[in-house]
Amino acid sequence: MAGRFLSLFKPLSRFMPEVSPPKRKVSFNEKIFWTLMALILYLVMSQVPLYGVGLGGGMELTALRVIFASNRGSLMELGIGPIVTAGLILQLLVGSGMIECDMSNPEDRALFTSASKVFSFIFVGFQASAYIIGGVYGALTFNTALIVFLQLLAAGLIVMMLDEMIQKGWGIGSGISLFIMAGVAQNILWDAFGLTPPVGDLKSYGFFIALAQTLGRGESLMSMVVRMNPETGEALPYPTIPGFIATIAIFFIVIYMEGVRVELPLAYAGHRGFRSKYPIKLLYVSNLPVIFASALFANVYLFSQIFRNIAGRSFWVDLLGRFDPETGQPIGGLVYYVTAPRGITQVAADPLRALGYASIMVVFCMIFSYTWLEVGNLSPSTVAKQLVDSGMLIPGYRRSSKPIEAILKRYIPVVAVLGGIIVGLIAAVADFVGVFGTGMGILLSIGILYQYYELLMRERVAELYPAFRKVFGG
């Protein structure tokens, strides 16, 4: 049974709006329809400006906004950040044993889901307040601040409901993954085709537009290898030829990694001769460690801004983060080392920062990967029980979860840690070479696309052959 802490959220969850699961079989085409509706609503909200603020603004959290599907000054200002942060905290508390929760128990899982939902709503209110108090929108009157707060609260609740609608069977996949993919896609398109000429550069921001301008003027392609400010000679962190090549390379590397797996032979006890395989992928927990690491880094950035605006500069505040007064970019403190240097020039300017960022990213991805085994029902014992309950067994062994669990223990913990190291390194190195859409963004988008491909194929097969739905776990 779950501990007292999770039980406290049960009465609170009754006051939260809820999406009812479908009471009938939802067809494949209907799931596609509701998934597209959720995506369209997200895209519309990301372009609707907050009343009293307006779209655009500073460069706060620019790189991390890509991961959290947020857009500065819009209804999607917070994006999925509060949901991810709330889930991260609860998962760490459960994984560390500070909160009692048996994730294999349906009642405990229901309590955990209720607590996650209430926690997410609390964090929507907390982050909305933090943005206002922290001065992200400048000085606001009380009435304007209240209106902005209510808008962010309502938008956050809508995002939670959309995610719940998709996860409960009305759509395909999860709303969080869908919105991340949409946000990353927008950022990649802007890096590739952005028309706006940035300050200090005579070319457009987008790579292909700037490349066409370079060729049209008869300039050397070296100007697209490292883009410089023609007035100051300073290197600019804009899309370049190495970044374009790295984006393609990272794409194929991640696709290859997604396909690397160990396959455990299985037989179906109810049908003699029916053979199957259980794949243990190298990226066993997929891209979740990167999302959790991003949430942690974003909150470090957010708290440093809040403390700076409330308490002013001090030793402890500077230890958390120091910022350039003109650009607002981090120049010291912990924030400096959890913000990726973008491009080879920034890495060369401060190799220690690059090494620190890569080390922190890899360590936290390892921790979150291992923690997610228990929280995400991916541990050897849980998987073994699921396989036995589905009527599967290992040829040559008796039908019991013990032998399957013993074999899974040889592989799952190892690939979870190794997968965390790999995704952490890919995310860090991709940023160092300036990939389009940020390193974490391109890693997440490819992983999500791969997952959606598998989900769509599975849904399609289950639609045509309903007998396979039990095998797929549906």
Per-position pLDDT tens, the chain of length 474: 445 677 777 777 777 888 888 888 888 888 889 999 999 999 999 888 888 876 655 445 566 677 778 888 888 888 888 888 887 788 777 766 777 777 667 777 778 888 888 888 888 998 888 888 777 777 788 888 899 999 999 999 999 999 989 988 888 888 888 888 888 888 888 889 888 765 555 678 889 998 998 888 888 888 888 887 777 767 777 888 988 999 999 888 888 888 888 888 877 765 665 677 778 888 888 777 887 787 788 778 877 877 777 767 777 788 888 877 766 678 888 888 988 888 888 888 889 999 999 999 999 999 888 887 876 778 888 888 877 777 777 776 666 778 888 888 888 889 989 999 998 999 889 888 888 888 878 888 888 888 888 788 777 766 665 555 554 454
Which pLDDT score, from 0 to 100, does residue 72 have? 81
End-to-end CA distance of the chain: 26
Which pLDDT score, from 0 to 100, does residue 105 have? 72
**Amino acid (one-letter) located at 287:** N
How far is the CA of 448 from the CAs of 66, 287, 291, 445, in angstroms?
A: 14, 8, 12, 5
Which pLDDT score, from 0 to 100, does residue 321 have? 82
Residue 210 has phi, psi (to 5 degrees) of -65, -35
Residue 19 has phi, psi (to 5 degrees) of -95, 120
Among positive and negative, which fits the CA dihedral 383, 385, 387, 389? negative
> According to DSSP H, which parts of 260-389 are helical?
288-311, 315-320, 333-337, 344-349, 351-375, 380-389
Which pLDDT score, from 0 to 100, does residue 357 have? 92
Which pLDDT score, from 0 to 100, does residue 1 have? 44
Contact 459, 28 (CB under 8 A): yes
Which pLDDT score, from 0 to 100, does residue 272 have? 60
Q: Which residues lie closer than 8 Å to 420 by C-beta, 6 or more apart?
A: 285, 289, 362, 365, 366, 367, 368, 369, 370
Q: In sequence order, what E strands does 70-161 have? A: none
Q: Which helix (H) or strand (E) holds 133?
A: helix 106-133
- CATH H superfamily, domain 1-19+27-185: SecY subunit domain (1.10.3370.10)
Which pLDDT score, from 0 to 100, does residue 182 have? 87
Which pLDDT score, from 0 to 100, does residue 273 have? 55
| Exposure on the CB side of residue 330, measured as CA atoms within 13 A | 28
Q: What is the SS3 assignment for 129?
A: helix
| Exposure on the CB side of residue 260, measured as CA atoms within 13 A | 14
Contact 67, 95 (CB under 8 A): no
Contact 102, 1 (CB under 8 A): yes
Answer whether 0.95 is exceeded by the pTM: no
Among positive and negative, which fits the CA dihedral 275, 281, 284, 288? negative
Q: Which residues pair with 330 in a beta bridge?
A: 323
Q: Which residues lie closer than 8 Å to 168 by C-beta, 6 or more apart?
A: 19, 20, 21, 22
Domain boundaries along the sequence of the chain: 1-19+27-185, 199-236, 238-474
DSSP string, 389-458: HTTEE-TTS-S-HHHHHHHHHHHHHHHHHHHHHHHHHHHHHHHHTT-TT-HHHHHHHHHHHHHHHHHHHH
Contact 310, 316 (CB under 8 A): no
Residue 224 has phi, psi (to 5 degrees) of -100, -5
Q: Does the domain formed by 238-474 have CATH 3.30.70.100?
A: no
* Common-topology check for domains 1-19+27-185 and 238-474: yes
Instruction: Classify strands 392-393 and 261-268 as parallel, antiparallel or unpaired.
Output: antiparallel
Gap between the Cα atoms of 40 and 341, Å rounded = 33
